[in-house]
Structures are given as C-alpha cells and as structure tokens.
Amino acid sequence: MRADQRARRDDFLNRIGAHPVVMGILNVTPDSFSDGGRFLAAEAAVAHARSMAEQGCAIVDVGGESTRPGATPVAATEEFERIGAVVAHLAGELAVPLSVDTYKARVAARAVELGAIMVNDVWGLQKDPAMPDTVAAAGAAVVIMHNRGEKDAGLDVIADLRRFFDRSLSLAMRAGIPDRHIVLDPGIGFGKTAQQNIEAIARLGELKDYGRPIMVGVSRKAFFGALIPDGLQRGTEAAPAGTIAVCLAAAAAGASIFRVHDVAEHVAALAVFDALRNRGVGGPA
C-alpha cells in the first residue's frame, strides 16, 4: 500500500467513533437485489460514487458480485473486470477512500493495488484461505462479517456471532493484521432468520467487549418492513424509512459504521441522532 493510501486508511479509521460513519454502496453488478444493473457502466458507477461522496459518506464500498441469496457466483476474473476501471478512476479523484466488497483474495489484492484502503469480506476471512495473508500484506483495513451457509432457527445468534468472530480474529492475528485495522459486522440478512436479524440488532451492545468498531448493513432489506404496522405504508426497497429506523437502533446499541444505499438521508438522520446523544455537540459524518 502506498503512503497516500496509508494516510487515507488511517484518517478513515480515526474518524470511527468520533461520529457515526456512513459507507455508501456502489454495486457494479447486474443482479444485486436493489440496484442491480444500474451502475454496470463505468461512467454511471463513477457518477454515483461522486454523488454519494458529495452527500456526506465517509467511504464508498465497491462490489462486483452480488451476495444476495440465490445470486450466481462469478469468477475472480469477471468480478475484477467489473470493478477494476471504476476503482482505478475513483481512487485517483474521489474525495473519500474506497473499500472493495469481496471475499476473494485475488480481487482484494488487485483492488488495493489500484487504491482501495479497505476490504469488506462477507465471509470474515474464512471463505478464501489466502484472504488473511492478502489483507495483512496489503496493509488494508478489513471488515469481518459474520455469515452462515444455512439458517438455523435454534441458534443463539449472539453465541454464533462470537464463535465466528473468534475464529476470524484468530486468523487475522496469525496473519498479522493489526487490531486497529479490523471492523466487525454481524451480517444482518446473511444466514439468519428474520427473528435472529432483529435480535442481533437489539443485542449488538453485547459485542462491544471485542473492542472493535461495529458496522451494520441493513440497507433496503425487506424483512424490516414487516415491522411496520398493518394499515401503514410498508417499507419497500425504494423507501429508506425502515433502514433509517434500524440504523438508528443499531447506533443506540453501539454500531458506528452504517453501510447504506441512501446516503443523504442516513447522513442527516445519524447527524441528528449524534447531536442529541451528545446534547447538541456533533455534526454529520
């Protein structure tokens, strides 16, 4: 990682905890559940990233493979072909740093070479055996997200999160990834029942003892719309109300990074939350 990237990485990590931090989602995919196909063209992807940066996100997360349930896996070569030009362009001009949303070490390494400063791994360093060493060698920050191959309604979700995180953190330690580079994500919507997703948000504070920042990614996920009472307009993928509500609940429980599609609305809502929490002292992330 170049010196300028290290400076951007450290600046981003230093922001976490001072105020809520918003991560803007940029899916360069044909099949993501909410915005698949919208930003496949490099010009559209770059324009959207610029817009999110102007709206106040602190980092843009670029992904080239949909991780929604039932999505078709893609090879590392194709995944990188989707995002490579976008990452190269944005790393040189965007006012905020870039994260790469991938569980493949080859894609992560090349994205960091082009200027990304963080790897957002939805399998928490456990899918690709080369990922821990790749992240360590690159000097990148990393999001370790909890995931499961199958849902199990009988699990205590927090106990399962702990088992997963303990293994991932052991892999990170053996590879030499510094503690200060690690963010934890409970993986809302990944291998969990609707009730487990809700419980994971409600009990998020039980993960504070790990001493790492917590990120949540609940943006436009339909199961939270089921919480809206009958007779009211239920949340849809186009309406951010449900996502904002869940992000505010997560912020109250201890989350500090929020991965969202609707950047402007979340920056505003979280700034108000932060100001109230600090009795009027605060501002947008």
In which element (H, E) is residue 268 found? helix 263-277
Which residue is catalytic, options 110, 192, 212, 259? Answer: 259
Residues 36 and 27: their CA atoms lie apart, in Å, by 7
The SS3 of residue 23 is strand
Instruction: Give residue for tokens 């196909």.
Output: 37
The SS3 of residue 140 is coil
Residues 54 and 95: their CA atoms lie apart, in Å, by 9
Instruction: Give residue for tokens 């790749």.
Output: 134
Query: Is 38 known to be catalytic?
Result: no
Q: Any idea what the Cα angle at residue 131 is, between residues 5 and 127, rounded to 5°?
A: 140
Query: Is 162 known to be catalytic?
Result: no
Instruction: Give residue for tokens 């905020």.
Output: 96
Which residue is catalytic, options 8, 9, 220, 221? Answer: 221
Which DSSP string corresponds to 76-129? HHHHHHHHHHHHHHHHHH-SS-EEEE-S-HHHHHHHHHHT--EEEETTTT-SST
Residues 2 and 7: their CA atoms lie apart, in Å, by 9
- Which neighbouring-strand residues pair with 216? 258
Structure tokens at 182: 């690690």
Tell me the catalytic residues: 221, 259
